[in-house]
Structure 1
Amino acid sequence: MKLWFAALLAALLSALGCCGGGRETAAETSSAPVTVENISVENYFELGPNIETFSHVPERIVVVGANESETLMDLGVTRGVIAAVPTQDNPTFGIKACNRAAFASFPPMKRSEVNAERLLALQPDLIVAQQEFFSKNRLGSTAYWNGKGVHTMVPLNTTAPGKLNAVETIAREMKFIRDMGTIFRRDDAAEKIIGDTRARIDFIRRETQGGARPKVMILDLMSSIVASYGRDKIAGDMAAAIGADVPHTTAAVGTENIMEENPDVVFVVVYDEQEEEVQKIRENPAFRHLNFIQNNRLYPIPLKFVYGPQTRTIDAIGYMANRMYPGQFDFATEYDFHVE
């Protein structure tokens, strides 16, 4: 009887270990300090490196963002979250099925509640949040929290969409994942995520080698400007990594810039299921004779795939490849890393 119960318990623990599981390993409970280099941020701007030493695995975590939450869960971190804000989630492309149960267990927090007073009351030991939240009206600076003994981890590719403050790359995205793995003593899980992501890129490059390179633009119709996620943005770097010709545009572009580039494929960032942003581009008479309209190569893309995608990078790349090379690929929308 005891042997049967032990076997059942082991099976249950193993099941929890897949895709954001909850098994605690010897590495996770290690008290050996680890050091990572993140970024110092104030009023949305990256000021330089931020070297942080973690003497223990964080136990009171505030995580702001759907992708940030997915990164924790994909690494197998499901305990210690005291507040989770699902900002930038998408009704069509939500939390992955394999992570939904774990995410539902995180205490929810509204975006409007993300401010210094509210977080001080929670007494976190780690805040994971994008650059926009480290502003004078939200959380102040990373230095403010570090000075209070609270660690901060800022995704490295979340500069303002309408600005080019830093060159964003897949390499930086993978560094953030590796650093999070280091902090939570989940190094093997981080390396598996990085390895699987790199393997998908390599596969697409091999399969498309020698073919035509489609010119691709990724546009975001913001309130007052049209932002272009060009070659120096993470979205542009992902598209270029799988064979696209992505122009080096300014952060903000006008109709004339798009006409001059005459892209073969255009991805438009959408925020809900209405996809009004796509319609605005499609119905613009100035674009009527451009390649992407003539050949019906205009596609929606959720913000979470082009702005600090983190562990969803693999999904973003698959989504782009399916549309850049129609009929050649059929990647699933969600990738389960099966991390244990």
Structure 2
Amino acid sequence: MNYKRFTLAAAVAALLLTTGCTTSSEAGPSNEGAQAGYPVKITNCGKEYTYERAPSRVVVMNGGSVAEVSALLELGLGDRIVANAQSYGASEVDGRVDAIKKLPTGNIKLNDMMDIPREAMIGLTPDFVISTYDGGFRAEAGFATRDDLAAVGANTYAPRSSCGEVGTVSGKPTIEDSYALLRDLGTIFGVQDRAEKVIADSKARIAAVGTKTASLPKQNVMMIIPGMAMGGEFSSVGGNGLWNDVMAKAGAVNAFEGATQQTFANLSREQVAKADVDTLLVVNYMSKDPDADARKLLAQFPQWDAAKNKRYVVLSDSVFLGPSNHLAVEKIAQVAHPEAF
């Protein structure tokens, strides 16, 4: 699943595409970053990488994502980052936005894709580079390749769900992809126990929601990113992405999952008007007032149950790959099934 996520409209066009990629790990016991459990091996996007010690000079590429930097912060690894290009400006996690803002940027002049170009990357002398997808190491895009970085002593990584070529789709993204990211980073940095605790806590919170909503009718949810129209007013309606699993865990279904095989659906006003929408999910993408965006949409379609009941939820990073999917599950469920909470 390629998660070339959204900082620019061009990035959104490739958002959360899926492709098959396997990642496996072998590791010794957790030592919270000590070197006793090393070496460890990680197979990432078809290549095996050996870690003799926990990385200490980490560079996080942009790709329109905050999943990777958020996962590092969730695991207590922010002090390993020497340059971070990821930012979003909103989060369901308290303090996450400020924590990201405080990370070093390496004083890099980003390229036209708002990411780190090859020479600047090499100049950072990293020992570990994270891209949001395998294409972040493409020479033709002006990026340092995996071989370039190996030559200067840096291992490279992309989430297992985003290996492969941009535009290829295979399988369905799920919350398990977020857990896989946490597990891989836990292995690489020797904090496996911490990663498993984060995952266990997330699963417990999602299970608690499931207990409350299991016997209730599934609610139809429409997800839209109002600030990222890519051709038409309704061209950024969520089609196929990790959010579908989030909705399912919240006792809901994506009203437009079947409208397209792509990540986003490009819909006409007539299609949107005819849909049964019980709850509106607005993704806050650099909006000055996402609640106003939601109210505007509800006013356009008064026939929706969502409009009649004023049911909408504003979310940001938690509906995408990352360590906070449980927050999206909880918030969607609370709005879609208020009687259960």
Q: TM-score, normalised by structure 2?
A: 0.72
Q: Tell me the equivalent position of 1:227.
A: 236
Q: Structure 1: 5+ residue runs without aligned partners?
A: 1-23, 40-48, 330-340
Q: Measure, in 2, the Cα distance between the counterparts of 1:243 and 1:164.
A: 29
Tell me the distance in 2 between the aligned counterparts of 1:187 and 1:317.
25
User: 2:250 is aligned with what amino acid?
Assistant: I
Look up the match of 2:288. 273
Q: Is the 8 A contact 2:225 2:236 kept in 1?
A: yes
Partner of 2:329: 317
State the alpha-carbon separation in 1 of the partners of residues 151 and 299 from structure 2: 51
1:96 matched to which residue of 2? 94
Q: Aligned pair 1:244/2:252, yes or no?
A: yes
Cα drift, residue 265 of structure 1: 1.2
Structure 2 spans left out of the alignment, 5+ residues: 1-29
When residues 120 and 34 of structure 1 are mapped into structure 2, their CA distance, relative to the original with a 3 A threshold, is same
1:202-249 deviations in Å (ceiling 9; x for gaps): 11111112111111222224232423333x411111111222123333
The runs of at least 4 aligned residues of structure 1 exceeding 6 Å deviation read none
1:158–1:307 Cα contact (<8 Å) kept: no
Please tell me the residue identity of whatever aligns with 2:126: P
Match of 1:34 in 2: 40
1 CA distance for matches of 2:200 and 2:132? Answer: 24
**Structure 1 counterpart of 2:289, one-letter code:** Q
For 2:192 and 2:33, how far apart are their aligned partners in 1? 9
Of stretches 218-227 and 180-189 in structure 1, the one that deviates more from structure 2 is: 218-227
Whole-angstrom CA distance in 2 between matches of 1:156 and 1:261: 34
Code of the residue aligned with 1:249 in structure 2: it is A
Aligned CA distance change for structure 1 residues 84 and 327 (closer, same or farther; 3 Å):
farther
C-alpha offsets along residues 3-48 of structure 1, whole Å, 9 cap, x if unaligned?
xxxxxxxxxxxxxxxxxxxxx9465323622122333xxxxxxxxx
Q: Of 176, 186, 209, which residue of structure 2 is paired with 1:204?
A: 209
Structure 1 CA distance for aligned equivalents of residues 80 and 35 of structure 2 = 13
2:157 maps to a residue whose letter is: M
Contact 2:280 2:294 in 1 (8 A): no
Return the letter of the residue paired with 1:320: I
8 Å Cα contact 2:229-2:236 kept in structure 1: no
CA deviation profile, 1:271-300 (whole Å, cap 9, x unmatched): 23322643553353xx33222223222332
Structure 1 CA distance, aligned partners of 2:43 and 2:174? 16
Distance change in 2, residues 1:133/1:26 (3 Å): closer
Pair 1:119-2:121 in alignment: yes
2:60 alignment partner AA: V
> For residue 267 of structure 2, what is the aligned residue in structure 1?
254
- How many angstroms apart in 2 are the aligned matches of 1:315 and 1:156? 22
Compared CA separation, residues 197 and 212, structure 1 to 2 (3 A): same
Shift of 1:170: 0.9
For the pair 1:62 / 2:59, whether they are aligned, the reply is: yes
- Which residue in the other structure is 1:46 paired with? none
Taking structure 1 as reference, are residues 172 and 215 closer, same or farther at Cα in structure 2, changes over 3 Å only? same
Structure with the greater alpha carbon radius of gyration:
1
**Letter in structure 2 aligned against 1:53:** T
- Which residue pairs with 2:85 in the alignment? 85
Distance 1:72 1:262, change over 3 A: same
Q: Contact conserved, 2:60 with 2:85, CA < 8 A, in 1?
A: yes
| Contact 2:89 2:97 (8 Å CA) reproduced | no
- Which stretch has the larger CA shift, 96-105 or 168-177? 96-105
Q: Is the 8 A contact 1:157 1:234 kept in 2?
A: no
CA spacing shift, 1:193–1:26, aligned 2, 3 Å: closer
Cα-to-partner distance string for 1:40-85 (whole Å, 9 max, x where unaligned): xxxxxxxxx4433222211210124543222112212233211122
- In the TM superposition, residue 320 of structure 1 has moved relative to its aligned partner by 2.0
CA 1:76–1:297 in 2, change beyond 3 Å: closer, same or farther? same
**Matched residue SS, 1:152:** strand
* Structure 1 stretch displaced more, 269-278 or 176-185: 269-278
Say if 2:199 is the partner of 1:189. Answer: no
Query: What is the SS of the residue equivalent to 1:215?
Result: strand
The verdict on how the C-alpha distance between 1:129 and 1:89 changes in structure 2, with shifts beyond 3 A counting, is farther
1:282 aligns with 2:298: yes
Output the CA distance in 1 between the equivalents of 2:336 and 2:274.
20
Say yes or no: does 1:170 pair with 2:180.
Answer: no
Partner of 1:213: 218
1:164-197 deviations in Å (ceiling 9; x for gaps): 7242111111111101000000000010011011
Q: Whole-Å Cα distance in 2 between the matches of residues 128 and 259 of structure 1? A: 41
Q: Secondary structure at the match of 1:36?
A: strand
Q: How many residues align?
A: 289
Amino acid at match of 2:36: S
Fraction of identical pairs, as percent: 22
Question: C-alpha deviations, 1:107-133, integer Å up to 9, x for none?
Answer: 565654622221111011111231374
CA distance in 2, matches of 1:26, 1:236: 34
